[in-house]
Structure 1
Amino acid sequence: MSIGPLFDEYSERYEHIRLERDDDGVLQVTLHTGGDSLIWTSQAHDELAYCFTDISCDPGNKAVVLTGAGSAFCAEIDFSSFQLGTPGDWSHVMFEGKRLLTNLMNIEVPVVAAINGPALVHPEIPVLSDIVLASETTVFKDGPHFPSGIVPGDGAHVVWTHVLGPARGRYFLLTGQEIGARQALDHGVVNEVLPPGKVLPRARELAAGIAAGPALARRFSRVVLTHEIKRLLHEQLGLGLAHEALAALDR
């Protein structure tokens, strides 16, 4: 009896996520809108949470490459797609918001990010990867939150103070700072900076090497290396989302 979903059962399920797996078990996850760079919407937000669950439950996935289509990882958001006017609306956002990052971290094989360009909307998602590669065109910014009058409580407050450190993380979130690829490398946010055309091939090269290793070593390395950030998310994600919702309802 097989355990977990078969790849064919979920590979075509998502409108904003293209899933491709090679014979070595490397799963490439490409975020997109109509084949071009992802525009963040309520649907994309919810799809990712469910997709990460499917990925984590499929033992055929031996390593994961996370990337974006077009010239940006995600640089735009469609605020009109979100219904945020009532406590009930925010209850849904809080439920899906918890699942989004939690389910990403529940993938029990290493994840390699190939950041293909500006990551201005939810840049915490790719930087949570185990190995983070960035194009020379990459810029990080937490655009949709504090610069737009919104509390950065949906995980941004945890991830950026973790990867940048408390002082740099708070500055990044409160000022709308943009961090270029080379500065991100200096700060330890990314591991390599490459020309745009070399980011994805390098990510696939690293993922193939990981996929060739022993199964339990892959799985349990991911478990132990992500334990601390999962602990922080467990402790702080609900708190952050509740305060984000409360402040938004007071606008």
Structure 2
Amino acid sequence: MTRPAYFDAYPNIALSRTESGILEMRLHSHGDSFRYSASARTQLLGAFQAIGADRANRVVILTGTGADWCAGFDRSPEVSPDPALSLAQRWDIQFWEGRRLLQTILDVDAPMIAAVNGPALIHTEYLLTCDIVLASETAAFQDMPHLDNGVSPTDGMHVLWPHVLGPVRGRYFLLTQQKLDAAQALDYGVCNEVLPADALLPRAYAIAERLVEQPEHTLRYARVGLTQRLKKLVTDEMALGVAVESLSALAKA
């Protein structure tokens, strides 16, 4: 099978695919645990667009590298926003990319499995777009950065977390920066299984291998049907959420 060019186009995303069509999407920063950045957000948007357009991808496994799924930021100059840009210009980019990213993930017409290899404290809403969520025993879930930086947690977290946890638990989770360990996440319905770290990815592949036994159109139409409600929520609520997040950041500045 020819290796698609987009597999090597994103510095923070390692992509590989089995002969049966299982795509592994492993986030990383310089080969170690993934740290979020403006550059990474742009890469994720491009990668999910390419993944969704490639019909050879029949099941997608989203995972991370090392001890964390994503628990910190990469502040190095080459991946941080250009300091010459005004705050308004930087938030305009955030507004444009932020609104599109969740919709682009949901537009991937292949079932998605999250294999959460460790603490997921930043942009955990990406994981909640997956159809199956597996967690390592070391995993934890939190929205850490927004309130730490005096910014409203409304860039997608406000859509997915109340949907998964329920409105009361979801608002509490975001406004108190509640951290759910793997056992709590399982109890709250955030993940489907909790596994030892060394069993996490093999289990994801085992589920994926069973899924790819299904006809191609069955898998695609299942994903379309199962994500329709989330797409509607994102369409209805994302633009206002990112706009008020931007305003909160600008007011703070």
Match of 2:5 in 1: 9
Separation of aligned partners in 2, 1:139 and 1:127 = 14
Q: Give the CA deviation at 1:28.
A: 0.2
Deviation at 1:78, TM superposition (A): 3.3
* Matched residue type, 2:151: I
- Find the counterpart in structure 2 of residue 174 from structure 1: 175
TM-score by length of 1: 0.95
Equivalent residues, number:
246
Measured against aligned partners, the alpha-carbon deviations of 1:146-196 in whole angstroms (never above 9, x if no partner) come to: 232111111000000000110111011001110001101011110000001
Match of 2:162 in 1: 161
| Structure 1, 94-103 or 183-192: larger mean CA deviation | 94-103
User: What is the 5 A alignment of 1:60-75?
Assistant: 60-75=56-71
**1:62-110: per-residue Cα shift (whole Å, max 9, x none)?**
1000000101100101357235843222111111111211111000010
Looking at structure 1, the residues matched to 119 and 224 of structure 2 have their Cα atoms a distance apart, in angstroms, of 29
User: Which secondary structure state, in structure 1, belongs to the residue aligned with residue 191 of structure 2?
Assistant: coil
Equivalences for 1:11-160 in 2 at 5 Å? Answer: 11-78=7-74, 81-82=80-81, 85-160=86-161
1:212 & 1:55 partners in 2: Cα distance? 20
Query: What is the alpha-carbon distance in structure 2 between the residues aligned to residue 146 and residue 212 of structure 1?
Result: 44
Higher mean displacement: 189-198 or 89-98: 89-98
1:101-120 Cα offsets, whole Å, 9 max, x none, are 11110000100010000001
Instruction: State the Cα distance separating 1:7 from its structure 2 match.
Output: 4.8
- TM-score w.r.t. length of structure 2: 0.94
Partners of 1:135 and 1:209 in 2: CA distance: 21
Contact 1:115 1:138 (C-alpha < 8 Å) held by counterparts: yes
Secondary structure at 2:72 match in 1:
strand
- Partner amino acid for 1:21? R
Structure 1 residues without counterparts, runs of 5 or longer: 1-5
Task: Specify the alignment match of 1:212 in structure 2.
Answer: 213
**Stretches of structure 2 lacking an aligned partner (at least 5 in a row):** none
Mapped to 1, the partners of 2:23 and 2:215 lie a distance apart of: 17
Query: Per the alignment, in what secondary structure is the counterpart of residue 78 of structure 1?
Result: coil
Aligned-partner residue type, residue 35 of structure 1: G
State the match for 1:3 in structure 2.
Answer: none
The answer (yes or no) to whether the contact 1:164–1:188 under 8 Å persists in 2 is yes
- Verify the 8 A CA contact 1:7 1:58 in the aligned structure 2: no
Number of the residue aligned with 1:235: 236
Secondary structure of 1:152 counterpart: coil
Fraction of identical pairs, as percent: 45
1:221 equivalent in structure 2: 222
